[in-house]
Amino acid sequence: MSTLAIVGTQWGDEGKGKIVDILSEGADYIVRYQGGNNAGHTVVVNGVKYVLHLLPSGILHDGKKCVLGNGMVIDLEGLWNEVEFIKRVGKSPEGRLFVSERAHVIFPYHKALDAASEKLKGDGSIGTTLKGIGPAYRDKAGRVGIRIADLKDEESFKEKLRWNIREKELTLKHVYNYPVSFNFDEIYSHTMRIYEKVADFVCDTVSLLNRAIDAQERVLFEGAQATLLDIDVGTYPFVTSSNSSALGIPAGAGVSPKKVEKVYGIAKAYTTRVGGGPFPTELKDNTGELLRARGHEYGSTTGRPRRCGWLDLFAVKFSAQVNQLDGLVITKLDVLDAFDQIKVCVGYELNGQLIDRFPSTARELEQVKPVYETLPGWKQKTTNVKSFNELPEEAKNFIKFVEDYLGIPVPIISTGPQRDETVIRERIW
Ligand code: GDP
Ligand code: IMO
Ligand code: MG
């Protein structure tokens, strides 16, 4: 196998950073294909915590090539800050960081529009990260976005920037009643100053990746956000603005779907969600509090407390279907170590009837009633367990329950944030 994708199966923050970091060992390339610095991927190495927003989680492995694909929206200043950050921790990005010239650039007006749109939505707001992600993708789809390649052509960039500033000022003032003025000269010179710092990393990543795959190099695709936040198959409109499931890989990396060989999902042993939107297994009680406290469930990007609830296997099954998962990695099993009983959602009832498919609308999803199976807890520490057999019987049964329900294997189980707090039952590559 030469290509492998890792995607979240819930609403994000499943531990993609940790698992991609581990799997990067076997990769030549690690590739982000969508999203931007709305992501917060945590990697803990020798007790030191690194939170990555734009750089792939393979960046901490010397020599591994890291790609920011064409499907991403990039805050150049955020990118430069991360490059500086990894240099400060002793890693060199030179010669191994590749940023797509086709990726779109996030400008200050995108962030203003994000805030204005959220404000206008009021109680129905999405609870975005306010990084300008939605407005940048809106410009991309509206064919007025500015791509990194555009920065190379001074006149054309100036013209596009002028037009966009004018359009955004008008929109902010007249549509959102949120007037902001943008200084063209300042934005232009600031963007160019930062662009020059990262320009050596910019290239045609579509051709780079296709050649790499054709040469049998090993490419690991790292999803950001997750399947239930995917703009097409997620819980729309409470989603992000990109295809954050595996469905986004071909378009966002510029490779044929025929080139993605295996797709593994990641699920926490429970569920979390940040921001608004339906969440059938949410617990607004002490049990939810305990999950948040034990799992340190506060956003890596915005610091917001994450909403917590039991594992929703009915939702994960839907993710397994749309991504056609080859297997599922379970993370944060240790967070359940303290519970007498563990509930797992195995179905939804809508208007008193069990339903046989994951709802397509937020309205329906708000109305479903989760159907639970209750499994016994293990009430033992699992963090230092090194093999599946050493896990308490109840924890093994929990994993087997997940495998049976989904009909796919669980080859990796994570029991702590560190690299070595991982049970590898079967190498996935
Ligand atoms: P990502 O966005 O999917 O990469 O996940 P985040 O980094 O936003 O959130 C996952 C959090 O859980 C991070 O703080 C990780 O360090 C932590 N983490 C990952 N795996 C485990 C695990 O198995 N157990 C515990 N207790 N923490 C974990
Ligand atoms: P990682 O990659 C969890 C959520 C936001 C909001 C919605 C839209 O760390 O798993 P956006 O700023 O993208 O327009 O916000 O999506 N969201 C995430 N939730 N993890 C993330 O990334 C997220 N990125 C965006 O909270 O509800
Ligand atoms: Mg995260």
What pLDDT shows up at residue 62? Answer: 96
Which residue among 61, 64, 110, 140 is the active-site one? 140
In a domain, 139, yes or no: yes
CATH number of the CATH domain containing 152: 1.10.300.10
Verify that 146 and 252 share a domain, yes or no: no
Three-state helix/strand/coil letters over 196-241: HHHHHHEECHHHHHHHHHHCCCCEEEECCCCHHHCCCCCCCCCCCC
CATH number of the CATH domain containing 293: 3.90.170.10
What DSSP element (H or E) covers 311? strand 307-312
Cβ–ligand 1 contact at 44 (below 6 Å): yes
How many domains in the chain? 3
Distance 263 CA to ligand 1 centre (A): 20
Q: Does 306 appear as a known binding residue? A: yes
CATH number of the CATH domain containing 12: 3.40.440.10
In a domain, 117, yes or no: yes
Verify that 47 and 161 share a domain, yes or no: no
Query: In this predicted model, what pLDDT tens digit does every residue of 303-353 receive, in sequence order?
Result: 889 999 999 999 999 999 999 999 999 999 999 999 999 999 999 999 999
Verify that 110 and 223 share a domain, yes or no: no
Nearest CA residue ID for atom 23, ligand 2: 225
Cβ–ligand 1 contact at 129 (below 6 Å): no
Verify that 109 and 146 share a domain, yes or no: yes
Average pLDDT of span 399-407: 98
What pLDDT shows up at residue 237? Answer: 98
Contacts for 97 with CB less than 8 Å, ≥ 6 apart? 55, 59, 65, 66, 68, 83, 201
Query: Residues within 5 Å of ion ligand 3 by Cβ?
Result: 13, 40, 300
What pLDDT shows up at residue 301? Answer: 81
| Half-sphere CA count of 78, side-chain side, radius 13 A | 23
Give residue 300's pLDDT band: very low, low, confident or very high (50, 70, 90): confident
In a domain, 284, yes or no: yes
For residue 382, give its domain range: 268-424
d(CA 74, CA 52): 13
Global pTM? Answer: 0.98
For 7-40, b where at least 16 C-beta lie within 10 A, e where not — what string? bbbbbbbbbbbbbbbbbbeebbbbbbbbbbbbbb
Beta strand pairing status for 65-68 and 29-32? Answer: parallel
| CA 9 to centroid of chain Cα atoms | 10
Q: Does 278 appear as a known binding residue? A: no
For the chain, percent of residues with pLDDT exceeding 70: 100
Verify that 278 and 408 share a domain, yes or no: yes
Residue where a domain terminates, one of 180, 197, 214: 197
Cβ atoms of residues 340 and 279 within 8 Å: no
Residue 296 a catalytic site member: no
Average pLDDT of span 358-372: 98
Indicate whether 299 pLDDT > 90: no
Q: Does 414 appear as a known binding residue? A: yes
In a domain, 86, yes or no: yes
What pLDDT shows up at residue 405? Answer: 98
Indicate whether 146 pLDDT > 90: yes
Verify that 210 and 73 share a domain, yes or no: yes
Contacts for 47 with CB less than 8 Å, ≥ 6 apart? 418
Verify that 44 and 184 share a domain, yes or no: no
SS3 337: helix
Average pLDDT of span 19-23: 98
The answer, yes or no, to whether the previous bond of 237 is cis (omega within 30 of 0) is: yes
In a domain, 429, yes or no: no
Nearest CA residue ID for atom 6, ligand 1: 13
SS3 323: helix
Verify that 395 and 282 share a domain, yes or no: yes
Q: Does 419 appear as a known binding residue? A: no
Distance 273 CA to ligand 1 centre (A): 13
Residue where a domain terminates, one of 155, 180, 197: 197
For the CA of 51, the closest atom of ligand 1 is 7
Indicate whether 23 pLDDT > 90: yes
How is residue 109 written in tokens?
A: 């007006």
Average pLDDT of the chain is: 97
How is residue 251 written in tokens?
A: 């378009």
Verify that 246 and 374 share a domain, yes or no: no
What pLDDT shows up at residue 98? Answer: 98
Indicate whether 249 pLDDT > 90: yes
Verify that 250 and 321 share a domain, yes or no: no
Query: In this predicted model, what pLDDT tens digit does every residue of 29-86 receive, in sequence order?
Result: 999 999 999 999 999 999 999 999 999 999 999 999 999 999 999 999 999 999 999 9
In a domain, 352, yes or no: yes
What pLDDT shows up at residue 1? Answer: 81
Cβ–ligand 1 contact at 412 (below 6 Å): no
Distance 375 CA to ligand 2 centre (A): 30
Residue 140 a catalytic site member: yes
Which residue among 21, 41, 104, 110 is the active-site one? 41
Verify that 94 and 108 share a domain, yes or no: no
Query: In this predicted model, what pLDDT tens digit does every residue of 374-390 receive, in sequence order?
Result: 999 999 999 989 999 99
Distance 39 CA to ligand 3 centre (A): 5
In a domain, 412, yes or no: yes
Residue 259 a catalytic site member: no
In a domain, 232, yes or no: yes
Verify that 147 and 291 share a domain, yes or no: no
